[in-house]
Chains A and B, each alone.
Chain A
Amino acid sequence: MTVQELPGAASYRPTPPPAWKPRTDPAPLLPDPEPYRVLGTDAAAGFAPAVLRRLYAELVRGRRYNTQATALTKQGRLAVYPSSTGQEACEVAAALVLEDRDWLFPSYRDTLAAVARGLDPVQALTLLRGDWHTGYDPHEHRIAPLCTPLATQLPHAVGLAHAARLKGDDVVALAMVGDGGTSEGDFHEALNFAAVWQAPVVFLVQNNGFAISVPLAKQTAAPSLAHKAVGYGMPGRLVDGNDAAAVHQVLSEAVARARRGGGPTLVEAVTYRIDAHTNADDATRYRGDGEVEAWRQHDPIQLLERELKDRGLIDEDGIREAAEDAERMAARLRERMNADAELDPMDLFAHVFAEQTAQLREQAAQLRAELAAEAEGDVR
């Protein structure tokens, strides 16, 4: 029974004053019912060949990077690696739609996006190797540290984009989060702040089906994650996350819209995590081989390769060149990662505060003495 059906309910429901009326017709904000696709559709014909070729090369490199990093984990060179195999289209498109001055806010699974943006592959793995939490200067690459807590980097992206706009810079922030992360409070607060401030920020949700083992159906009751945008007053876009051209196009449009002052966009890319959550996870406990196999048939590299072949934009030589280029990248990565990291234990105290406190100076002296004793073999 609704309020209106209650006897005498009318007296409890005064007409809301004008300020209570919705400010915007929600219809333009709603995502399409089906994920947007480009590859294999008429929309592909209008796509610039150079962009498609670039996406293909980066996808192939990205896949190889994932397999190489996973192998390094098995060799004990990385503490952990959350593979993005199957999701490379999202990673690569996120990196390629940004200008140099823009900022990327990756989550822990988005190493690939950072590398595609130009970050040194070894620096990108520092967190996962364990020699330091962030192996690069975020300002140098405009890449925030890979964020391990869920969704907490999203308000950072909003704040940075807001600050840039206050300064008059046409900088856009693109923030990446997984489907599980959309349940976190910081996701909500970030989207709300972004919409209220009309901050130039794009939220990319990679819906890869699972938050470790919990499927999307247990994560949300929303029709789609893109639908969440409507409640905040920003457009939601649903896109096939394995269609590199579609992700590139949708993100490009969202970035352009943000840059011209149109405010934030929430993009949900529907994709799939082919590998387990990390090497420490047993994915067979929560999903069947059939499901994984079905998604393998919808592989981002194969989808793009087919399109390129159909349009005569790549031949077998081109495919081989891309694979060879990726193999060279992997070999270099393997070689560099097989060298032991050089660590300075005194770094522990170097960057806690701008100026070391007396307490930290004491503790640094203690460690220095312990190291000296260790060097002299004076170990208890």
Chain B
Amino acid sequence: MTTVAAKPATMAQALQRAMRDAMAEDPTVHVMGEDVGTLGGVFRVTDGLAKEFGEDRCTDTPLAEAGILGTAVGMAMYGLRPVVEMQFDAFAYPAFEQLISHVARMRNRTRGAMPLPIVVRVPYGGGIGGVEHHSDSSEAYYMATPGLHVVTPATVADAYGLLRAAIASDDPVVFLEPKRLYWSKSDWSPDAPAAVEPIGRAVVRRTGRSATLITYGPSVPVCLEAAEAAQAEGWDLEVVDLRSLVPFDDETVCASVRRTGRAVVVHESNGFAGPGAEIAARVTERCFHHLEAPVLRVAGFDIPYPPPMLERHHLPGVDRVLDAVARLQWEAEN
């Protein structure tokens, strides 16, 4: 067996390995999208799959996102398990009708007779200096559509585990890959992948007692860094990595907030009607009597994604998280 990379592996390599292992185990798994074959994907996430499994299993499609996802629907109807790549977040929008009108509801509209085990891989988010239409955080659109699972890994191990789980799922999964973590490394070994994580479970990345940072995907490293920095100011922060936005792990999140009494939701997509609004409402509804302060949100501004030379002002960084944590001193101020 050839290994995909020497240790430490990157997230991109772990994702490739997840697809490769799934394809080797299950001949119905097909990878498709623009540039996924010969080129191996613009981020090389599908590198080598066409060579190993043939162009019928890893297919360069015409450049048409609705067509890519629409044909994947038909393939899933016939018993295949398509893994579709959308190349960039904002390029997925032409496929929204297929996603919302068919992928998300086919199981439901056929009373369970026609499930669609499709994974839609979307490299998403900013922080890589991409030009317009290459940095959107579109998770709120997907979360707002009943019938879709929405997951996003923050670690190399989770990238492997969650993608294996997504491919194994009998339901459609929108798999959001944080572009700026593609080259993040860890001591995860492709030869001994961690057990496949079930979709729908959050994880406490750092334990703490004085407040909970609720976050996911590209903002997890930001929050971990902020937690380290906050220690100097006497804050012992817990960091919860959601991993799965749908289904939402109320249990883990609320258990943490009940312990700490304070919470900040951190994500880079815009705040208005964004994921943080839903999460803050859920936490407030369930943990009101445990809260010492309102649940705060740290999010991207409510603007179209900015040009690359300005994106650092838009993306929530460590300082903005720490500012929010400081505002959790609610009792003292009021």
A→B interface (CB under 8 Å) = 132-134, 136-140, 144-145, 149, 152, 154-164, 166-167, 173, 185-186, 189-190, 192-193, 196, 347, 350-354, 357-359
User: In whole Å, how far is B249's beta carbon from the nearest beta carbon of chain A?
Assistant: 8
B74 interfacial by beta-carbon distance below 8 Å: yes
Let me know if A351 and B112 touch, CB within 8 A.
yes
20 contacts between A and B (CB under 8 A): A138-B114, A140-B113, A155-B69, A156-B71, A159-B77, A163-B74, A163-B78, A163-B79, A164-B78, A166-B56, A173-B74, A189-B70, A190-B70, A192-B67, A351-B107, A351-B110, A354-B107, A354-B169, A357-B200, A358-B247
Q: How far is the CB of B294 from chain A (nearest CB, A)?
A: 23
- Whether B111 lies near A351 (C-beta < 8 A) is yes
Q: A162-B74, A352-B108 are in contact. Are A155 and B200 (CB under 8 A)?
A: no
B155 within 8 A of A: no
Complex interface: chain B residues within 8 A of A352 (CB): 107-108, 146-147
Instruction: Determine, out of B35-43, B97-105, B157-165, the stretch whose residues face the partner at the interface.
Output: B97-105
Nearest CB on A from B144, distance (A): 13
Assembly CA distance A197 to B221 (angstroms): 43
Across-interface contacts of A350 in B (CB, < 8 A): 111-112
Are the C-beta atoms of B110 and A145 separated by less than 8 Å? yes
Interface string of B64-106 (1 = CB under 8 A from A): 1011011111111111101000000000001001100110011
Cα A136 to Cα B112 with chains together (Å) = 10
* B231 part of interface (Cβ distance < 8 Å): no
> Given contacts A158-B70, A159-B70, A160-B74, could you give 7 more A-B pairs where the C-beta distance is less than 8 Å?
A133-B105, A138-B113, A152-B70, A155-B71, A155-B73, A192-B64, A352-B107
CB-defined contacts of A192 to chain B, threshold 8 Å = 62, 64, 67
- Interchain nearest-CB distance for A119 vs B (Å): 13
Contact A160 B75, CB 8 Å, known A354-B169, A358-B251: yes
Task: Say if the beta carbon of B109 comes within 8 Å of chain A.
Answer: yes
Interface residues on B, range: 35 or more
Asked if B70 and A154 sit within 8 Å, CB to CB, the answer is yes
| Cβ B114 vs Cβ A139 within 8 A | yes
Q: How far is the CA of A193 from the CA of B98 in the complex (A)?
A: 15
B250 touches A (CB below 8 Å): yes
Which single residue of chain B is at the shortest CB-CB distance from A196? B62
Contacts of A351 in B (CB 8 A): 107-108, 110-112
List A contacts of B75 (CB < 8 A). Answer: 159-160, 162-163
User: What is the 8 Å Cβ interface bit string for chain B, positions 296-321, against chain A (1 contact, 0 not)?
Assistant: 00000000000000000000000000
Q: A138-B77, A139-B113, A155-B98 are in contact. Are A193 and B147 (CB under 8 A)?
A: no
Contact B70 A137 (CB under 8 A): no
**Contacts A139-B114, A354-B107 given; does A156 touch B77 at CB 8 Å:** yes
For B101, list chain A residues within 8 Å (CB).
149, 152
Is A359 in contact with B247, judged by CB distance below 8 angstroms?
Answer: yes
A152 near B107 with CB under 8 A, answer no
A189, B64: Cβ atoms closer than 8 Å: yes
A335 to B184, CA, bound (A): 66
Complex: chain B residue closest to A157, CB-CB: B74
Q: Report chain B residues within 8 Å CB of A189.
A: 62, 64, 66-67, 70
Tell me if A358 and B250 are in contact (CB < 8 A).
yes
Q: Is B216 an interface residue (CB 8 A)?
A: no
Q: Which residues of A contact B72 (CB under 8 A)?
A: 159
Question: In the complex, what's the smallest C-beta–C-beta distance from A180 to chain B, in angstroms?
Answer: 16
Is the C-beta of B61 less than 8 angstroms from some C-beta in chain A? yes
Bound-complex Cα distance A300 to B63 (A)? 41
Q: Would you give the shortest CB distance from B165 to chain A, in whole angstroms?
A: 12
Question: Are A347 and B111 in contact (CB-based, < 8 A)?
Answer: yes
The answer to whether B248 has its CB under 8 Å from any CB of chain A is yes
Q: Whose C-beta in chain B lies nearest to the C-beta of A191?
A: B67
Given the complex, which residues of B lie within 8 Å of A347, measured CB to CB? Answer: 111
Q: Do residues A354 and B62 form an inter-chain contact, with CB atoms below 8 A?
A: no
Q: Which residues of B contact A139 (CB under 8 A)?
A: 113-114
Chain B residues with CB under 8 Å of A154's CB are 70
Cross-interface CB contact of A133 among B79, B80, B109, B149, cutoff 8 Å: B109
Among residues 234 to 258 in chain B, which have CB atoms less than 8 Å away from a CB atom of chain A? 246-248, 250-251
Q: With the chains together, A144 CA to B102 CA distance in Å?
A: 11
**Complex alpha-carbon distance, A144 and B61, angstroms:** 23
Q: Give the distance in Å from the alpha carbon of A357 to the alpha carbon of B149 in the complex.
A: 10
Query: Which A residues touch B97, using CB under 8 A?
Result: 149, 152, 186
Instruction: Chain A residues near B261: list those with CB within 8 A.
Output: none
Please tell me if the beta carbons of B70 and A155 are within 8 angstroms of each other in the complex. yes
Q: How far is the CA of A185 from the CA of B67 in the complex (A)?
A: 9
The one of B71, B94, B248 that contacts A193, using a Cβ cutoff of 8 Å: B71
Q: Quick check: is B228 within 8 A (CB to CB) of the other chain? A: no
For the complex formed, measure the closest distance between the CB of A248 and the CB atoms of chain B, giving whole angstroms: 25
CB–CB A159/B107 < 8 A? no
Which 7 pairs across A and B sit closest by C-beta, in order of nearness?
A159-B74, A155-B70, A189-B67, A159-B71, A160-B74, A133-B109, A163-B78
How far is the CB of A341 from the nearest CB of chain B, in Å?
Answer: 13
By the criterion CB–CB under 8 Å, are A161 and B74 in contact?
Answer: yes
Give every chain A residue within 8 A of B246 (Cβ-Cβ): 357
